[in-house]
Structure 1
Amino acid sequence: MTTTVSWPYAHILSARERLYDHLVRRVEADGAIRDRCASRILESALLLSLLRKERAGPDTQEALTGFLGRARPAGFLDAAAAAAVTGRPVASAEVRAHLDGFRHFTGARKQLLLETLLAVLGALPFDGRTDPGRVPDEEQAVWTDVTLRAVRILHAAHRDEESPGLDTDRVRMAASLSSFDAGKVWQGNALAHLIALHALHTYQPGGALLRDGLCVLIRVQNADRGIPFIAGQEVFVTALAGTVLAGAGDRRDVVPRMAAYVADRQLADGGWGYDETTTQSDVDDTSRCARLLRLAGPNTYEHRLGRADNYLRRMADAAGGWPTYVRGHAPEPDMTAGAVIALAPDWRRHSGILDQAVDFLLDVQGGDGTWQRSWTLSESSVIVYVVEALGRTTAHVSPTARTRIAAATAKAVRRLEQTQNPDGGWGQRNGDTSDALSTAQAVPVIVRHGTATTAGRALAHLLDQQEPEGGFTAPPDQVGPRPLPFDFPVLTGVHALAALNTAVEAHPANGRPQSAAV
């Protein structure tokens, strides 16, 4: 349905212009937006622990201790990590119970990782329950592979035994670290680099590879003296921001520069990774980057778009859907939605896999109207992505599928209407305090498909959150490794601009009552 809107058009336009200018000021000369990942307790605690083991960096140790004393834990695991490394009591039984309650399709691997990290920090004992052998050895993302090798090395060191594959794990982990660009955080992933260095310490303490890694990680310390999860996310952020700046009209003509920057970061396999240094491609970044290039110049970037399409086709699951990193891994709704949006403009060529993807998205919707939250915390973040993807397919699918899409969309809208807070906004989950990011991600669905009253209240709340310089602030929504949140603050403004773009497009004063998704 198309919403008959009543919110003040001039106010929305003004807010959008201020936000557009705010984001454009972040675009650097080469077209990239380079935001800083906020510091996290886990990485800061791991670096402090490693520096102590190596008897290195006393000034950095002092700075990290100060950060950990000031930092507010984002959850139970943060609190346990900070307490353990600063010498405060840790309730190990409560930590274990919390980990035992973790439910995710990557659950066994993620539990093993988190249990091992907390054991390294002293929050849990190394014991038989934390068994690396319970995780199958299969193809993984590069950082997952190195992390699992590091975990096996750490457990073998604790048991003081030479397990059958230990030498192989040591050689391959060290070779992977050594092959990466000197002076860079390995794959841009500070957490994976830290885990590997802790493992390296067990058999090469004081070695050159370990010393060099410590120097690199110290250099990415933030102003608050904490350590981020990843060193950057400039490819992902630039692609996403370029898309919404294009949707806002791009009166400063920055999008061509942003698209050129993104195009130059395409990897050999046709995909993209999240930052300038990683060699690991993924479906999410590839979908976002391809979307920007198609908006900015489908003819200019025809060859790169063809390679991206081929990458996405290769990654598609035989039964429908897309995973994040490795074909054959479980498909995920948000990855699938992104791939559908990227491939839908060439429906004829991709109709077979897209029809399967639509069925997958419809089949995995929950009874409450939501989809699985994978790389995000907010329900609305996946809802908006999937609803947009389904909306782009309705002109091509069968009448039966169109009926199912309409029902799925209505169910998602009902969920958002039922979970809207009295102040007009949304929190990450039902009952959570409203925040600008969760609200911004709900707005496009409500504006396009909800009631005018719900949309008006949502926009009023969002506009009230805009800061004097034009930006927005919210708690982090991204997670990595799942379920740990990490924060690139600029993304709140990016999603808010997407919401305001939709509001402008849908407003009768714009002369286009039927909104066109960007």
Structure 2
Amino acid sequence: MTDLLSRESTPTVDRSQDRVRRCVESAREYLLSLQHPQGWWKGELETNVTMEAEDLLLRRFLGIDDERVTEETARWIRSRQRADGTWATFHDGPADLSTTVEAYTALRLAGDPIDAAHLRRAREFVLDSGGIEATRVFTRIWLALFGQWSWRELPVLPPELVLLPDWFPLNIYDWACWARQTVVPLTIVGAARPTRQLGFSLRELRTGVRPESTTGTLSWSGLFHGLDAVLHRLERLPVKPLRSLALDRAERWILERQEADGGWGGIQPPWVYSILALHLRGYPVDHPVLAKALDGLEGFTVREETGDGWVRRLEACQSPVWDTALAMTALLDAGTPGDHPALVSAADWIVGEEIRSGGDWQVRRPHLEPSGWAFEFANDVYPDTDDTAEVVLGLRRVRHPEPDGAEAVEASMRRATEWLLGMQSADGGWGAFDADNTQTLCEKLPFCDFGAVIDPPSADVTAHVVEMLAARGLADSAAVRRGVRWLLDAQEADGSWFGRWGANHVYGTGAVVPALIACGVPADHEAVRAAVHWLTAHQNEDGGWGEDLRSYVDRSWVGRGVSTASQTAWALLALLAAGERNAVVRRGVDWLVDHQRPDGGWDEPHYTGTGFPGDFYINYHLYRLVFPLTALGRYLGSGRDAGPD
């Protein structure tokens, strides 16, 4: 291995380097041990208890309750409750009203008595926070399904929305892919306005006080609230000329997008709402479409035995392609030869996952040849640019021993490169799933009080794409130059970059700086120096880096938080790319080495992944291993330039 600190030849530094090498080797062996025989890696994707609560509510709605499932799921939900009676959306986060209401409802459904101490504490928080009346729209939709909230008091999503042409404002392709997949089935659910028996009442969670509207009438939001009132009146009309056509179109749209694993988009919300919608369209639970969907949802289940008995929880999504791409890069940076059997096996598996069929992205790019990779095992409709970039960055360094295998790798990288070039948005950046998905009218609708509903270009995704294109020899291309300009323009005044898909400015900055350097931006460029200054200023006293997820809604948290393995690694990746080899870097490296577990991994209870900024967060269980291994490998200089294109 090349010693990047060879200029410092004191015995202390040598011993320090030996510690890092042992740390890297231990992490490398641990990562290799986690590879599936088919070639892929997948860490658990941990979210919050709304996944489990909504699963129990779905089962009650469909009439497929199962005593064991309910008991094990309830046990998991109870285990996540904090001492104050609340549930949060991320580890050590603030109490969340909607999450607490859904968890409380699920435990009542499981038979927990209303006067139990843990429910009493939860109820006190709910009432102090405004009650059911103050929950988000999605929570109240679930309650409306069981008569615990009035459909008349929910925003209207008319099925006729699916009939709008793709050039018309608010058509379904103006929504992000994850939002449109949720909205279309919800138009069916909202039109049906069903009510099933829950078996108990939630009157005890009502305050009787409606939150005051903060929407001004002279604004888009105010206009859409007025429009919603009109739509409510129209819903009461006995004749709706286009309703039957719209419902048929929505049903067909859903059916056409069911994946091989039975799901929709590989993520929980559209999967669950599509099941509800099709059931309300007359599909019984034993219909092949719904049977396949329910069986597939079981594949997202994690069961484990604890001291209190078996628990059952659900992943909101699964990330084998993403995890495998990151694992390949980590192993290569740790000095693993490009022709190592584990890497060859991973390359073969991942080449087989390339998407060669069309999808919704073609609405904006109809003439672009299909390629790319999706996040999940089975998701052929929604490849994403972020996964595709990381896959190619890993694949390009694998040295496949078989000529046919090497040819297949190169062909898939060539197609993916062209696809990524074609997915560049007009402003020069890249969104995750669609090009030019930037119309903000959707965000003003009363329905949209939870999560991102559009997919504009982001700094982290754009950085990964331009870094990959530079690695493919396109650093001087017009597309990369426009991407670099987008990144420079997107830099925050403090020198950092916002992280859309990871927490938060540490993630964004950790992605952008290596990309800028790879594209030929010099290390002494003012943007790079500003980023280095920001990272240096935000290093924790213990030598690591961390950023609390509250930074998405409260800027006082930007760059502040408990040190974590993944975030420390992200900061190091940026500093190393910028040429830093100083005490700041050494302290970060020492933090990682000092916090490594005996098995070679790291603990990371804090969430560092982002689903929807401000609302939904993720703990990727493999992040705590792949990113530290990558950073430490690059610190040692292992395999840095292996595998030329």
TM over 0.5: yes
Deviations 1:355-404 (A, max 9, x none): 11111000011112221221112322211110011001126xxxxxx59x
Mapped to 2, the partners of 1:196 and 1:190 lie a distance apart of 10
1:443 counterpart = 2:572: yes
The answer to whether the Cα contact below 8 Å between 1:65 and 1:86 also exists between their aligned partners in 2 is: yes
Partner letter of residue 410 of structure 1? R
The answer to whether the Cα contact below 8 Å between 1:309 and 1:343 also exists between their aligned partners in 2 is: yes
Candidates 434, 437, 447, aligned match of 2:563: 434
Name the structure 2 match of 1:31: 39
Name the structure 2 match of 1:398: none
* Structure-to-structure mapping, 1:225-264, within 5 angstroms: 225-230=312-317, 232-250=318-336, 252-264=340-352
How far has the Cα of 1:476 moved from its partner? 2.7
The answer to whether the Cα contact below 8 Å between 1:426 and 1:442 also exists between their aligned partners in 2 is: yes
Mapped to 2, the partners of 1:115 and 1:336 lie a distance apart of 36
Question: Which range moved further: 350-359 or 78-87?
Answer: 78-87
What is the Cα-based RMSD across aligned positions, in Å?
Answer: 3.2
The answer to whether the Cα contact below 8 Å between 1:333 and 1:382 also exists between their aligned partners in 2 is: yes
Mapped to 1, the partners of 2:143 and 2:473 lie a distance apart of 48
Deviations 1:55-101 (A, max 9, x none): 213222222222222224343143332123334533463787786xx
* Structure-to-structure mapping, 1:181-200, within 5 angstroms: 181=259, 184-200=262-278
Q: Unpaired segments of 5 or more residues in structure 2?
A: 82-86, 90-95, 109-118, 162-168, 194-231, 304-310, 357-369, 401-405, 438-455, 549-558
Which structure would you say has the larger Rg? 2
* Structure-to-structure mapping, 1:156-171, within 5 angstroms: 156-158=191-193, 164-165=242-243, 167-169=245-247, 171=249
Name the structure 1 match of 2:51: 43
Candidates 379, 388, 392, aligned match of 1:290: 392
Name the structure 1 match of 2:60: 52
Name the structure 1 match of 2:170: 136
Name the structure 1 match of 2:611: 480
The answer to whether the Cα contact below 8 Å between 1:41 and 1:78 also exists between their aligned partners in 2 is: yes
Partner letter of residue 271 of structure 1? G
How far has the Cα of 1:446 moved from its partner? 2.9
Candidates 318, 323, 335, aligned match of 2:431: 323
Partner letter of residue 9 of structure 1? Q
The answer to whether the Cα contact below 8 Å between 1:380 and 1:438 also exists between their aligned partners in 2 is: yes
The answer to whether the Cα contact below 8 Å between 1:54 and 1:205 also exists between their aligned partners in 2 is: no
1:265 counterpart = 2:290: no
Mapped to 1, the partners of 2:485 and 2:547 lie a distance apart of 27
How far has the Cα of 1:217 moved from its partner? 2.1
Question: Which range moved further: 23-32 or 155-164?
Answer: 155-164
- Report the structure, 1 or 2, having the larger helix content: 1
Q: CA distance change for structure 1 residues 345 and 58 in 2, over 3 Å: closer, same or farther?
A: closer
Deviations 1:217-245 (A, max 9, x none): 23532113011101x21111111111121
Identity %: 22
Mapped to 2, the partners of 1:270 and 1:285 lie a distance apart of 12
Partner letter of residue 262 of structure 1? I
Mapped to 2, the partners of 1:417 and 1:496 lie a distance apart of 18
Mapped to 2, the partners of 1:96 and 1:352 lie a distance apart of 52
Mapped to 2, the partners of 1:120 and 1:412 lie a distance apart of 49
Mapped to 1, the partners of 2:248 and 2:565 lie a distance apart of 45
Mapped to 2, the partners of 1:464 and 1:119 lie a distance apart of 51
Q: CA distance change for structure 1 residues 374 and 517 in 2, over 3 Å: closer, same or farther?
A: farther
Name the structure 1 match of 2:130: 93
Q: Unpaired segments of 5 or more residues in structure 1?
A: 100-111, 396-401
Equivalent residue pairs, number: 490
* Structure-to-structure mapping, 1:110-509, within 5 angstroms: 116=141, 126=151, 130-132=155-157, 136-139=170-173, 140=175, 142-158=177-193, 164-165=242-243, 167-169=245-247, 171-173=249-251, 176-177=254-255, 180-181=258-259, 184-204=262-282, 206-207=284-285, 208=287, 209-223=289-303, 224-230=311-317, 232-250=318-336, 252-268=340-356, 269-279=370-380, 280-297=382-399, 300=407, 301-329=409-437, 330-347=456-473, 351-394=477-520, 406-429=525-548, 430-449=559-578, 450=580, 452-474=582-604, 475-482=606-613, 483-505=615-637
Question: Which range moved further: 121-130 or 233-242?
Answer: 121-130
Mapped to 1, the partners of 2:533 and 2:349 lie a distance apart of 40
Deviations 1:268-321 (A, max 9, x none): 111110122101111001101111121114963332121111101110112211
Partner letter of residue 296 of structure 1? V
Name the structure 1 match of 2:210: none
Q: CA distance change for structure 1 residues 493 and 170 in 2, over 3 Å: closer, same or farther?
A: farther
The answer to whether the Cα contact below 8 Å between 2:28 and 2:629 also exists between their aligned partners in 1 is: yes
The answer to whether the Cα contact below 8 Å between 2:35 and 2:41 also exists between their aligned partners in 1 is: yes
Question: Which range moved further: 424-433 or 20-29?
Answer: 424-433
Mapped to 2, the partners of 1:204 and 1:180 lie a distance apart of 17
Mapped to 2, the partners of 1:250 and 1:233 lie a distance apart of 23
Name the structure 2 match of 1:63: 72
Q: CA distance change for structure 1 residues 458 and 166 in 2, over 3 Å: closer, same or farther?
A: farther
Q: CA distance change for structure 1 residues 288 and 113 in 2, over 3 Å: closer, same or farther?
A: farther
